[in-house]
Structures are given as structure tokens and as C-alpha cells.
Amino acid sequence: MDKSEKKILIIVAVVFLVLIAVAAVAVAIWRTSKGSSFEPPAFDTSAIVGTPQNIDEHSAYGELKLPISNGRCTVSMAALPTCTENQLNLLLASASDNSVYVRVIIYNADEVKLGSSGLLCPGEYVSSVALTDTVESGSTLRVKILTYEPDTYYSLGSTGATITVR
């Protein structure tokens, strides 16, 4: 190789290095912006204003009080819900005096996500939450209850509860 070829190789190597560095920085910036971006969950389209009626007495329906940053958040649901055609009849309700949005995520015993509700405003409830998989009677599920600050969607605390499918 003569000097001119060596020079060309050096220039090409430098250009390629710059190209790689630019690509790496661009990807890093893109990933950072992607990582920090947050898509607020949608409000539950099946939410009904009010409280669940005609509650099955065997569903162990009860209240959960979450200590959150600016007070308390009360959520009601069935601890022994039934499941019909992949619909978990959780009867999830957000108390009307809550000041936060509420949402639940359902996991199986292996911590695999099975489904989630949309956001519930204070005073709303949903009869059921759709699951991606069939759950058998007697299955134990974990319900993660998330609270969202209405304006910012910041977390105000979360808690978990274990339920058993009848």
C-alpha cells in the first residue's frame, strides 16, 4: 500500500468511526427518550358510575384501604371471584371519595400478567377484567392495585392482594 491508499484508509476509518459514534449516540438518545416517555393507560370503557349491585355473597367482596401520599384510597373487589370465558368477575370499584385514578393488573402464580383493567375514576366500577388465558377454579391470582395522580399519572402508591378463583 502506498501513502495515498493509507491516507484513504485512515480517512475512511475515521469517517466510519464517526458514523458509528453518531449512530450509537442517536440510538442512545432515542432509547432514552423512548424509555422516559410514558403512555397513560386508557380509561376503562366498561366502567360504570356507581357501586356494584347484587353481589354474590360467596365472592368475599370487601374493601381495601391503600395508604397513599395524600390520604387514603379505597378499592373494593371480590376476593373469591368467578371466571367465565376468560372474564374475571372481580367487581372492582373505586370509592367515590377517592382522589386518584385506580387500575389493577392481574398476574398468575408465576407472575405472568394475565390482564389488566383500564383506569377507574372515583365512584366507578367494572364488573369484570378480561384475561388473556383461562384460569381454572381454585387458581390463585395476584392483583396489583395501582393508584395514579390524575394530572400527572405519577404513582401515589400501589399494593397487592391475592385472590382465589372460585
Q: Which residues bind another protein (CB under 8 A)?
A: 1-2, 5, 8-9, 12-13, 16, 19-20, 23-24, 27, 30-31, 34-36, 38, 66-69, 105, 113, 146, 148, 152-159
- Supply the minimum distance, in Å, between the C-beta of residue 118 and another protein: 14
Exposed, middle or buried: residue 113 (CB in 10 Å: 0-12, 13-18, 19+)?
Answer: middle
**Shortest gap between Cβ of 117 and another protein (angstroms)?**
13
CA distance 121 to 93: 9
Minimum separation from the CB atom of position 19 to another protein (A): 7
User: Smallest gap, in angstroms, from Cβ of residue 66 to another protein?
Assistant: 7
Query: Judging by beta carbons within 10 Å of its beta carbon (0-12, 13-18, 19+), is residue 25 exposed, middle or buried?
Result: exposed
Nearer to another protein, 11 or 80 (CB): 11
As a whole number of angstroms, the distance between CA 82 and CA 128 comes to 9
Least distance in angstroms from the C-beta of 56 to another protein: 30
Closer of 39 and 85 to another protein (Cβ):
39
Distances (CA, A) of 45 to 73, 99, 146: 21, 20, 18
Nearer to another protein, 56 or 149 (CB): 149
Q: Given the complex with another protein, which of 13 and 49 has the nearer CB atom? A: 13
Given the complex with another protein, which of 69 and 134 has the nearer CB atom? 69
Name the strand (E) or helix (H) holding 61. Answer: strand 61-68
C-alpha cell belonging to residue 152: 400527572
